[in-house]
Amino acid sequence: MSDNTTPASPADTGATITLETPIQRGDQSISQILLRRPMAGELRGISLSELSQLDVGAIIKVAPRISIPTLTAADMNSMGPADLMQIGAEILGFLLPKGVKASLEQ
């Protein structure tokens, strides 16, 4: 029996974000973050309408759950607005069905 599913592309499972202002953790500088597509459990306690409105509080709660390396609350709270907006936009993109995303990209 053949499986007709195609493997998920990286764009379907995650997104790499290059930060405008790298995060400093001691001697470590984090300039890129991988956000992976959240599963339903990782959205627990978050209003999807708040995420769809790019609510700062909702973004700050979800991003650490899906980021590699894992962002801390301190990282999120000290982040500049441009970087926060990039992260929020990627999270919002994960919530959209493929058909809607395709029509928006055209």
- The band of 12, judged by pLDDT with boundaries at 50, 70 and 90, is low
DSSP-derived pairing of the beta strands 67-68 and 28-36: antiparallel
Euclidean distance between the first and final Cα of the chain, in Å? 36
Residue 61 belongs to some domain of the structure: yes
Domain range for 47 is 16-97
Instruction: Give the long-range contacts of residues 39-47, CB within 8 A, separation 24 or more.
Output: 42/66
Residue 105 belongs to some domain of the structure: no
Residue 26 belongs to some domain of the structure: yes
pLDDT of residue 46: 94
Per-residue pLDDT averaged across 16-44, rounded? 95
Number of domains forming the structure of the chain: 1
Residue 6 belongs to some domain of the structure: no
Q: Quick: pLDDT tens for 38-64.
A: 999 999 999 999 999 999 999 999 999
Q: Quick: pLDDT tens for 69-98.
A: 999 989 999 999 999 999 999 999 999 888
